[in-house]
Structure 1
């Protein structure tokens, strides 16, 4: 059993219309949720396959940190999906610095956050004082590195170039070759 705290403004999303999202989480992650909507405390108890149930707390936490439930369910797709949070506040000196760095991560009209998601293949959300990432370890690493570069003050152009390189590396690693009996190959 694990406890997760969800911000009050995300409790409704976690429960869903008529409790639909909560029931969906319970069924798909094989857990039971006990939600205290006053405090935001959520008790997550595994009731089925304990391996599947391990994803329950991360699904709840991801929804609490701004992900749509359908994006959080990506954690159940296969065991290579992971959820990670980058603490923006830890990289700041004060509230003004926090607003500035959070703005840099989001970018004009959300463009920087969008590019981090597009080029990595991960789902990326900026909520409160955190940047949340759901994806494969390689995707999560690319976004985390890009976010750290931005938080350290790197120009956006350098970060985009880094993401392009990582995107191309990940694509070339995904290319599968099929070798035929005659020794020839096709992609």
Structure 2
């Protein structure tokens, strides 16, 4: 079975890698065959081995297309539970200026908001083009998504940071770990 994934042209080089190295690594690790049309950004992903691993192949390609580096995208294969999700920021924006403002709020000053979302959820986060992308365990992805949606809905950063800290503490307690106030 072949799935077709479309990625931005400026991400094709990242998908292929130097001398095709990244493409071969994805094919080998995800047990898929990739056929890249560099003219239009279409990638045919065909399962070539283990069907369970191959199911994640299209998500690996999508994640690279949405701004993740290949190592982060390939982490989707490390564990059956890791998942990839995106939020279309453009859908939450009224116009181009609003889109830029919302992206800026998600990134934060010097990347601080994006960094805090990563640190307090354990997920990997990328803001690329008009999307917010996240890779992690389902609970990490849900919390990161909730935080991003709060920001896109106009919640003050302080409220979002409090939400993230509260969820972080809950997760640490769930794991039986002690929490020490974040002083970043």
User: Partner residue of 1:62?
Assistant: 63
Q: Distance in 2 between matches of 1:11 and 1:135?
A: 23
Residue 81 (str. 1) matches residue 82 (str. 2): yes
Which structure has the bigger radius of gyration? 1
User: Partner residue of 1:185?
Assistant: none
User: Partner residue of 2:19?
Assistant: 18
- Over aligned residue pairs, what C-alpha RMSD do you find? 0.8
User: Partner residue of 1:98?
Assistant: 99
- Residue 30 of structure 1: how far off its partner (Å): 0.1
**TM-score if structure 2 supplies the norm length?**
0.94
- Residue 175 of structure 1: how far off its partner (Å): 2.4
User: Partner residue of 1:179?
Assistant: none
Three-state SS of the structure 1 residue aligned to 2:53 is helix
| 4+ runs deviating over 4 angstroms | none
- Residue 169 of structure 1: how far off its partner (Å): 1.0
**TM-score if structure 1 supplies the norm length?**
0.93
Q: Deviations over 1:72-92 (max 9, x none)?
A: 111011111000001101111
Q: Distance in 1 between matches of 2:176 and 2:47?
A: 38
Residue 128 (str. 1) matches residue 134 (str. 2): no
Q: Distance in 2 between matches of 1:73 and 1:119?
A: 22
Q: Distance in 2 between matches of 1:49 and 1:20?
A: 21
User: Partner residue of 2:181?
Assistant: none
Name structure 1 gaps, 5 residues minimum: 177-187
User: Partner residue of 1:169?
Assistant: 170
Q: Deviations over 1:105-129 (max 9, x none)?
A: 0001111000000100000000000
Q: Distance in 2 between matches of 1:30 and 1:174?
A: 33
Task: Give the total of aligned pairs.
Answer: 176
Three-state SS of the structure 2 residue aligned to 1:52 is helix
Residue 153 (str. 1) matches residue 145 (str. 2): no
Name structure 2 gaps, 5 residues minimum: 178-184
